[in-house]
Amino acid sequence: MDSITQAALGAAIGGAVLGCRLGRKAVLIGAVLGTLPDLDVVIDYGDAVANVTEHRGFSHSLFVLTGVATLLALLSARLAPARDITLGRWWAFFGLCLLTHPLLDALTTYGTQLLWPLDVPPAAYPIVFIIDPLYTLPLLVGTGVALATGDGRCGPTWGLALASAYLVFAFGAKQLVEHRLEPVLAERGLAEAPRLVQPTPFNTLLWRVTVVDGDEHHELLVGVLDGDTPPLVETYRRGAELEEVALESPRGRRLDWFAGPFLRYETRELDGRKTLVVTDLRLGFPGFHPFAFTLATREGDAWQPVKVSEQLTAPSRGNREALSRLAGRILTPEPALCTSAFVGAGWVLDTPERC
């Protein structure tokens, strides 16, 4: 989640746990602890692929953060005995403020390396977008009340309860979408294909579904308010014939570990050279994916890995129109995303007639 949300979550938890003892200080310290794991963004790992895939790594590890929380609790119990706060209460304060950060991140699309340093892919069960005002607002209001009144517990506790209730709603919305999706995928023989179901930007009423099937990936929009109207399917080429080339490089294997099958491969002319570009399909939407990386250039008859991978800028053309379509799609089954209308017909293999 974004830094404001993480700070608000830490502040609300801090107030709920120790607001009655520390007042405003619990809220302010909680806000700092809530943003602490994201300080790894200042680390430069050497190139674009490493910077993206190493983020939410060691600083988001449950092992590391548990150790940090334990150390802080021991120090606080020793240095502030006059506060009459038990060691267990100190640990709950530091532990919850720190550990809820990666756990919340794990509820977004990119997930989190919760078990670092174990070599397992990031854990992710997306039920909220990386920025969701309906989740963040109760936390901000609750902490704002605490700072204004000096009552460090009541406002944060209510804000935390409302935000948690929203997560329960988001989980239920995803289950509903999954239920509506099953017959559509089964009809196309895609019931067992890898899929990603995630909310579209800033809401939990409209969900984007990405299904990978060999050299194709299918995109669907499924709304909570769609009723019995079946979703439309848009199909795109994935460039799977270039996957083997990508996996020959350490960066390609790292992206495969990071994103699994949700990668698109293509060649582009960059600076007069034929370049292999790999796009993470999970964030954004067709034609507007922000995470696309250079992996290799064509030298004669062979591909040569680039010395430093670069992250390419997503095209801005049509971006506003696509977001407008998404906003309009929340309340009605029409229209489809229809990215071919403003990205280019070359992207779409099978465009629904309603586009």
Count of other CB atoms within 10 angstroms of residue 271: 6
Rounded to whole angstroms, the Cα distance separating 57 from 207 reads 27
Length of the chain: 355
For helices 87-105 and 3-22, give the axis angle rounded to 10 degrees: 160
Strand 263-270 versus strand 233-237 pairing type = unpaired
Q: Provide the pLDDT for residue 342.
A: 47
Confidence category of residue 343, pLDDT binned at 50, 70, 90: low
Q: Which residue ranges make up each domain of the chain?
A: 3-152, 172-236+316-350, 238-312
pLDDT in tens, 195-232: 999 999 999 999 999 999 999 999 999 999 998 888 88
Total-model pTM: 0.92
Amino acid making up residue 29: I
CA distances from 198 to 69, 110, 188, 290, 312 (A): 31, 10, 21, 16, 23
Phi, psi of 102 (to 5 degrees): -65, -30
Confidence category of residue 323, pLDDT binned at 50, 70, 90: confident
pLDDT in tens, 250-288: 999 999 999 999 999 999 999 889 999 999 999 888 878
For helices 154-187 and 133-149, give the axis angle rounded to 10 degrees: 180
pLDDT in tens, 45-74: 989 999 999 999 999 999 999 999 999 999
Confidence category of residue 347, pLDDT binned at 50, 70, 90: low
Rounded to whole angstroms, the Cα distance separating 325 from 211 reads 21
How far from chain centre, in Å, is Cα 58? 17
pLDDT in tens, 74-120: 999 988 765 688 999 999 999 999 999 999 999 999 889 999 999 99
pLDDT in tens, 139-167: 999 999 999 999 889 999 999 999 999 99
Count of other CB atoms within 10 angstroms of residue 122: 24
CA distances from 136 to 96, 181, 328 (A): 17, 29, 23
Q: Provide the pLDDT for residue 337.
A: 60
Rounded to whole angstroms, the Cα distance separating 316 from 287 reads 9
Reference 197, options 207, 186, 183, 187; nearest CA is 207
Rounded to whole angstroms, the Cα distance separating 278 from 255 reads 9
